[in-house]
Amino acid sequence: MQNRKKGFTLAELLVVVAIVSILTAISIPIFTRQLETSREATDLANVRSAYAEVMAAVMIEDTENEVKVVKLKQKKEKWQSHDPVTIGGVMHYNDQGDTANWIGYPVPGGECEVSYRSDSGVLFNWKSGKGTGGSEQKYAFNINCDVHEPLNNSGILEMLGDNNNFEIDSNCTKSNMLPKIQAKIEEDSLLKKGTWAYLGDAKDKSKRYLFWTSVDISSDSVGAGKKIPVIISTADGRFYISETTTAMRVNKAGNYIAIAGHLTPTQYKEYLSKDKKYENLQEAYDAYAKLVTDGTYPQYKDTLPK
């Protein structure tokens, strides 16, 4: 009796394997793209929800909720399924670069900080999980430096005691306190650049300030009576962008240009605007750099640290 049950030949098996391999090669990239599209859709929905929450907080002046951070799920850099992307009326293309309302781009394991600025509106700040923006901006100084450390380690605060309104200017070269601070400034510190002043209360961190500007205010092109942009950092960890008017200091040790006029303890707070408050030095410096390159002070764009 003849056996009619025939199996596949080796050639036929190889053909089947080849077909399966081809189908797999085609389907896996499609599946991967669909999975990433799904992740991006989730991220966009979450960022739009955060935008709605921030705007609601702005409307009712709920300052504690005017900033929201969304952890991203997408696994690829930039947008794969949308270009441009529109959130809250703000449209942005992958290769457009930073704008007043959009900084950086999404990266794997990153986050989006949604906030509001009274001068420019909503801001979508895309960062890595470590807090750096997707645009990978480089800095000419240590962006993580503690700008209050030189004063804290100089011994001057102890010497000042209960003084609630001291002033130490980087331009006051005849000061006996300045060298003590300069000796504690690291070579890669922001304080190696520009002009600065420590001001305020020797005891209360919340009332002690660093004013910093990239502008060489002692130069002939600036001098006294000129408005300049400044970063203000409080000793308890807050950062602000503001502006001051330079002033002439007249004393026995020699005249010099100061970063601001003499201020009372109450007047310091007038420079601290809630809508220009930032979480850390990097955010404050990025906003400062934008102010002097694209904003109010383009005449000082060449003063940024290089």
Does residue 290 share a domain with residue 168?
Answer: yes
Number of domains, the chain: 2
What whole-number distance in Å separates Cα of residue 298 and Cα of residue 306?
16
In a domain, 32, yes or no: yes
- The predicted structure's pLDDT at residue 221: 83
Domain extent, residue 298, equals: 149-303
Higher pLDDT: 119 or 284? It is 284
pLDDT confidence tier of residue 135, bands split at 50, 70 and 90: very low
Does residue 103 share a domain with residue 67?
Answer: yes
Question: For the segment 88-99, what is each residue's pLDDT rounded down to a tens digit?
Answer: 999 999 888 888
Q: What percent of the chain is predicted at pLDDT more than 70?
A: 89
- 55-64, 187-196, 273-282 — most confident range: 187-196
In a domain, 248, yes or no: yes
Question: For the segment 273-282, what is each residue's pLDDT rounded down to a tens digit?
Answer: 877 889 899 8
Answer yes or no: is pLDDT of 57 > 80.
yes
Does residue 163 share a domain with residue 125?
Answer: no
- The predicted structure's pLDDT at residue 220: 78
Question: For the segment 74-88, what is each residue's pLDDT rounded down to a tens digit?
Answer: 888 888 888 899 999
pLDDT confidence tier of residue 202, bands split at 50, 70 and 90: very high
In a domain, 287, yes or no: yes
- The predicted structure's pLDDT at residue 33: 62
In a domain, 6, yes or no: no
Does residue 232 share a domain with residue 271?
Answer: yes
Answer yes or no: is pLDDT of 136 > 50.
no
Does residue 175 share a domain with residue 62?
Answer: no
Residues 6+ apart with CB under 8 A from 9: none
- Mean pLDDT, the chain, as a whole number? 87
Question: For the segment 231-280, what is each residue's pLDDT rounded down to a tens digit?
Answer: 999 999 999 999 999 999 987 768 999 999 999 999 998 999 877 889 89
Question: For the segment 1-32, what is each residue's pLDDT rounded down to a tens digit?
Answer: 555 555 667 676 777 777 777 766 665 555 45
In a domain, 66, yes or no: yes
